[in-house]
Structure 1
Amino acid sequence: MLSAVCIGETMAMLTPVKAAPLHLATELHFGIGGAESNVAMGLAAMGLETHWVSRVGHDGFGTRILHDLRDHGVGVSGVEVDNQRPTGLYVKVPAQESDPDGGSSVLYYRQGSAASAMGRDTLANPAVSSLLENASLIHLSGITAALSPDCLSLLEAILTAPRNGRTISFDVNWREALWAGQDRAVLQRLANLADVVLVGKDEAEHAFGTTDEAELRRLMPDPKVLVIKNEAISAISLNRNGTREEVPALSVAVVEPVGAGDSFAAGYLSGMLFGLGQKESLRRGHVAAACTLTVPGDRGPLPAPDELAGILDSSDAVWAAIHVEDGQFNTNRSVTP
């Protein structure tokens, strides 16, 4: 069975109930959030044997994270529990009606977290080494590289090790607060060591100083595929052999954008692992992202297998006519398949 291993930090997430200002909130919703674990849960939902490798604190937050991942079919045998360092925490502060241009914001409490202590020693854990040795896909992100020098060293070790048939994907996942004062050239170097790189066009400007496809490919010439997520417009794959594929995004009634990029990554990467072409894999990414965009949480359920197959195999005209709302994929009936 194809297997995937996702490596990175997942934190406890608190957010005021009913979008109350933080200083007035009397109730906080407790959830979890992490880019790599979001991808892991997405890959598991698509039928892949999936594992998450990380560290959590010996606390209720860490226990909740482990339980939630297990409940979503993700293996956690490669997770270490730290008796000294805490699980990371972040607080989502909702946008306020009195400040419509302010948008939501996030407060991070992750410095010195258990996950920030991941390093090359993590690879000496027999459970971790076994998972990586047998993985078809190893998924990493730029978030981990910015957590600590030890985390950066871990990613470098994985990316420079012999592949032995494995594929390594790297989602840039730009986080301004994490990279403040750090050398951004590190991201370019790490990404160029991967086999598949995913980057949002909006974050490419911050991370690499350009949104131009040709320039991005020049900066990262070695990966087999560079996938550029062009927000609500399209997704583009640039192969090392020079071929280009662009698939328009689906029309979506957006409820909450958080987690859509991770869902796209899971959809695309699952298609790649299943041997699909670039167009089909990009479509899988769009479908998974649309499912997440139409729910308030970090992940939305996929359509039933038969419906999903019909969506993915639809003509370009039918694909362009699909509108997604409340998790339902509706097509203009006047369009000829």
Structure 2
Amino acid sequence: MPPAPSVDVVCLGESMVTFVPSRPGRLAEVPAFARGIGGAESNVACGLAGAGHGVRWISRVGTDGFGDHLLTEIAAAGVDVSGVQRDPRRPTGIYFRTAGERAVESEPSAEDDGEQPLAEVLYYRAGSAAAAMSPALMPHEQTWSGRILHVTGITPALSPECLALMRELTTRAPGRPLVSFDLNYRVSLWEDPERAPDEGPSVLLDLARGCDLVFVGEDEAEAAWGIRGGAAAIREALPEPDVLVVKQGSAGATAYARGADGADTVTFVPALRVDVVAPVGAGDAFAAGFLSGTLRGLPVAQRLRHGHLMAAAVLTVPGDLCTPPSRAYADRLVTLGDAEWGTLRFGPGWADPARSGSDTAVVEVTDP
């Protein structure tokens, strides 16, 4: 396989066609569903492409119509899908969900997908084309073709082959790009009683330790690893990554960045106030915003603010993908003083310039 042209970011992971109810209610009571796409890694890819970066999504899909739909929609967002493999023997994964999906049962948050109750989610992904991803099928010529490789804790749960791939990708080796890892703990994916003890959620901690940049929510760390005690306790358990971003629900996010002297600089940025339209996709958008700031070499505080802004953009539209705010607009907002940042409140569609013809007209500034 010839080397893939270099891009800013390679995102590797499964995407599925998702079916969302046409009206609120239990899945058993919903008469019709609207079709969309869902996938943490492709969501990040689309967010980064919308922010002006060169991005490639690597995965596997079936030769079915659902695979066609995924490739068409993700390519339309500006993402390079030339590295996606088609499998004639395995299907593209699909899933059904009601509104309000969150990764773990915990207090709601902006960056951990909103303020709605945990909902029904039914996956039909066993034996999917993406579950066959392996070190042999995903060579370094493809996975290492960006400045950053972004992966999540969803992939190792899909199959033994996917776990082997993730173990390889998170092993430090010469020539490896910066590896970004978002825990994205999904309880249902790790409930298989047939799993070996060393292939349960604890393996995610080992994988995270091999990465350079890690995103994890406080609620996820407790659910997956039993870690309590806040951001400092998570950093104690994960000292290896150069940058650790701990999402702390509606309070905000804390980043630990190791300096040249080996000491951490700790940066906290409060979350934004958002009028939530739909509570899915915010965690992926936050990662995309932070990665965008990382690619541009911005200060850590501004990277966190870009993450919060991208999350706010997704939370104020119906789906889990949206056009992010323009770079110039976002750059103006991330350089506001702390007091001004604290007064911002975002309503539906605020990031869409077509809404009003003016970036600033759709941001409500309130008294502190």
Query: Under a length normalisation based on structure 2, what TM-score does the superposition of the two structures give?
Result: 0.84
Change (3 A) 1:331 1:23: closer
What residue in structure 2 maps to residue 330 of structure 1? 363
Gap regions ≥5 residues in structure 1: 96-100
- Which of 208, 219, 223 is matched with 2:225 structurally? 208
What residue in structure 2 maps to residue 184 of structure 1? 201
- Which of 101, 121, 124 is matched with 2:136 structurally? 121
- Which of 146, 159, 183 is matched with 1:148 structurally? 159
What residue in structure 2 maps to residue 55 of structure 1? 60
Change (3 A) 1:94 1:281: closer
**Pair 1:86 & 2:108 matched:** no
Q: CA RMSD in A?
A: 1.9
3-state SS of paired residue (2:136)? helix
3-state SS of paired residue (1:215)? helix
What residue in structure 2 maps to residue 98 of structure 1? none
CA contact (8 A) 2:146 2:177 kept: yes
**Pair 1:175 & 2:192 matched:** no
- Which of 288, 294, 314 is matched with 2:316 structurally? 294
CA contact (8 A) 1:21 1:94 kept: no
3-state SS of paired residue (1:257)? coil
Change (3 A) 1:102 1:272: closer
Q: 1:21, 1:132 → 2: CA distance? A: 40
Q: 2:333, 2:236 → 1: CA distance? A: 34
Count residues with an aligned counterpart.
326
CA offsets, 1:135-164, max 9 Å, x none?
100001000011111001111111215252
RCO greater where, 1 or 2, for CA within 8 Å and sep 6 or more? 2
CA contact (8 A) 1:86 1:114 kept: yes
Q: 1:69, 1:190 → 2: CA distance? A: 27
3-state SS of paired residue (1:123)? coil
Q: 1:2, 1:246 → 2: CA distance? A: 30
CA contact (8 A) 1:291 1:300 kept: yes
CA offsets, 1:107-138, max 9 Å, x none?
111111110000011234xxxx4343331000
Query: What amino acid sits opposite 1:84 in the alignment?
Result: R
CA contact (8 A) 1:58 1:83 kept: yes
- Displacement of 1:21 in angstroms is 4.1
| Residues 250-289 of structure 1 aligned to structure 2 (within 5 Å) | 250-289=272-311
What residue in structure 1 maps to residue 41 of structure 2? 36
**Pair 1:242 & 2:257 matched:** no
**Pair 1:162 & 2:173 matched:** yes
Query: What amino acid sits opposite 2:90 in the alignment?
Result: R
- Displacement of 1:76 in angstroms is 0.9
- Displacement of 1:299 in angstroms is 1.8
CA contact (8 A) 1:294 1:300 kept: no
CA contact (8 A) 2:345 2:363 kept: yes
Q: 1:315, 1:134 → 2: CA distance? A: 38
Gap regions ≥5 residues in structure 2: 1-5, 101-115, 351-361
CA contact (8 A) 1:300 1:327 kept: no
Change (3 A) 1:12 1:206: same
Percent identity for Structure 1 against Structure 2? 42
Q: 1:19, 1:276 → 2: CA distance? A: 41
- Which of 79, 99, 120 is matched with 1:105 structurally? 120
Query: Under a length normalisation based on structure 1, what TM-score does the superposition of the two structures give?
Result: 0.91
- Displacement of 1:94 in angstroms is 4.5
